[in-house]
C-alpha cells in the first residue's frame, strides 16, 4: 500500500483552493488535511496538523507566503513548503528557497507536474526549474544565486548565536574565501580561522561550510561584505574556493 502524503492548502481565494483540492483528491497517495486563507492561520494550522507538504500562496493577508514559510520552518522544520504564485520570476524563486521553501511554481503549473513535485518534495528533495536537487545541490544553488542577487532585505526570525568575528568570517565564506584567504584578509592565523569555523559549525549544528552558509542565508543575518569592498585590502581576484581548506 502506498504511503499517503498529507497536504495542506494555503490561499486566500476559495475557488483556487477548491480547484487544487479537486485535482489532488484524484490521487490516492495524496490526502488534504486542511486549509488556511492567510499567513498567520497557515502557521497555526500547520503546527496543529503537521502536514507533510504545504502548498503556500505567496500573496496572503496578515503575513505573506515568504514570511509565513520562514516562521513555519522555524517551528516545524519537517514540514515541506511548495510556494505558488501568480507570476514566475528568477529572483522570487531564490527568495522562496532561501525562506525555506522546497519548490516554487506559477499557479498555472500543469496539475500532473504539481503532483510530481509534491511527491519529490515529500521525500526531502528540492525542485527548481524542473531539476530535482538534494540537500548538497540546493546548497550550491543557493550560494550561486546569492552571488547574483545578494542578501537583500529579509526579516530575521531568530538572533544569531555567532559572535561578531564569527559572523564576519561566515560572511567571507559566503563570498568564496578559503580559510587561508580569510586569515590573510583579517590578519589572523590560519589556525585561528579554523578554530572559529569549528565554533560556527558547532553553534549552528551543521556539518560543513556550505550548510552553515545556507543556514545563515535563510535566517537573513549574514553580514554583507560586497566584493568591491574586499578588493582594496586583498587581491580578491586571485581567490578561488579551496577544496582542501
> Distance between CA 169 and CA 104 in Å, rounded?
31
Q: Which residues contact residue 18 at a Cβ distance below 8 angstroms, ignoring those fewer than 6 apart?
A: none
pLDDT at 45: 95
pLDDT digits (tens, 9 = 90+) for 58-67: 888 888 888 8
Q: What is the mean pLDDT of residues 124-150?
A: 86
pLDDT digits (tens, 9 = 90+) for 172-231: 887 778 999 999 999 999 999 999 999 998 888 777 888 888 777 776 655 444 444 454
Residue 72 reports pLDDT greater than 60? yes
Instruction: Considering only residues 18 and 98, tell me which one the structure prediction assigns the higher pLDDT.
Output: 18
pLDDT at 222: 57
DSSP character for 237?
A: G
Instruction: Considering only residues 119 and 211, tell me which one the structure prediction assigns the higher pLDDT.
Output: 119
Residue with cell 500532473: 112
Please report which confidence band the pLDDT of residue 118 belongs to, taking 50, 70 and 90 as the band edges. Answer: very high
For all residues of the chain together, what is the average pLDDT? 82
Please report which confidence band the pLDDT of residue 240 belongs to, taking 50, 70 and 90 as the band edges. Answer: very low
Residue 35 reports pLDDT greater than 80? yes
> Distance between CA 147 and CA 226 in Å, rounded?
9
pTM score > 0.95 for this model? Answer: no
Please report which confidence band the pLDDT of residue 2 belongs to, taking 50, 70 and 90 as the band edges. Answer: low
Instruction: Considering only residues 47 and 162, tell me which one the structure prediction assigns the higher pLDDT.
Output: 47
Sheet holding 80-85, edge to edge: 30-36, 5-10, 53-57, 80-85, 103-106, 126-128, 131-133
CB atoms < 10 A from the CB of 184, how many?
Answer: 17
**Structural domains of the chain, with CATH:** 5-148 (3.40.50.2300), 164-238 (1.10.10.10)
Q: What is the mean pLDDT of residues 29-40?
A: 95
Q: Three-state SS for 106?
A: strand
Residue 124 reports pLDDT greater than 50? yes
Amino acid at each position: 500500500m502506498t504511503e499517503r502524503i498529507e497536504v495542506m492548502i494555503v490561499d486566500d481565494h476559495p475557488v483556487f483552493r477548491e480547484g487544487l483540492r479537486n485535482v489532488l483528491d484524484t490521487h490516492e497517495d495524496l490526502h488534504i488535511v486542511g486549509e488556511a486563507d492567510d499567513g498567520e492561520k497557515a502557521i497555526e494550522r500547520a503546527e496543529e496538523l503537521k502536514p507533510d507538504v504545504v502548498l503556500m500562496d505567496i500573496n496572503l493577508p496578515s503575513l505573506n507566503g515568504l514570511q509565513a514559510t520562514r516562521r513555519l520552518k522555524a517551528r516545524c522544520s519537517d514540514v515541506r513548503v511548495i510556494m505558488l504564485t501568480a507570476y514566475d520570476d528568477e529572483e522570487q524563486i531564490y527568495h522562496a528557497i532561501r525562506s525555506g521553501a522546497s519548490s516554487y511554481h506559477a499557479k498555472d503549473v500543469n496539475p500532473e507536474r504539481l503532483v510530481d513535485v509534491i511527491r519529490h518534495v515529500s521525500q526531502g528533495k528540492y525542485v527548481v526549474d524542473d531539476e530535482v536537487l538534494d540537500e548538497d545541490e540546493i546548497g550550491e544553488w543557493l550560494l550561486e544565486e546569492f552571488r547574483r542577487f545578494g542578501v537583500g532585505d529579509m526579516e530575521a526570525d531568530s538572533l544569531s548565536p555567532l559572535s561578531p568575528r564569527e559572523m564576519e568570517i561566515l560572511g567571507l565564506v559566503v563570498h568564496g574565501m578559503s580559510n587561508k584567504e580569510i586569515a590573510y584578509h583579517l590578519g589572523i592565523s590560519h589556525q585561528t580561522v579554523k578554530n572559529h569555523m569549528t565554533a560556527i559549525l558547532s553553534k549552528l549544528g551543521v556539518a560543513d561550510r556550505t550548510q552553515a552558509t545556507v543556514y545563515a542565508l535563510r535566517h537573513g543575518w549574514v553580514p554583507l561584505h560586497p566584493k568591491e569592498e574586499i578588493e582594496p585590502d586583498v587581491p580578491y581576484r586571485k581567490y578561488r574556493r579551496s577544496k582542501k581548506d
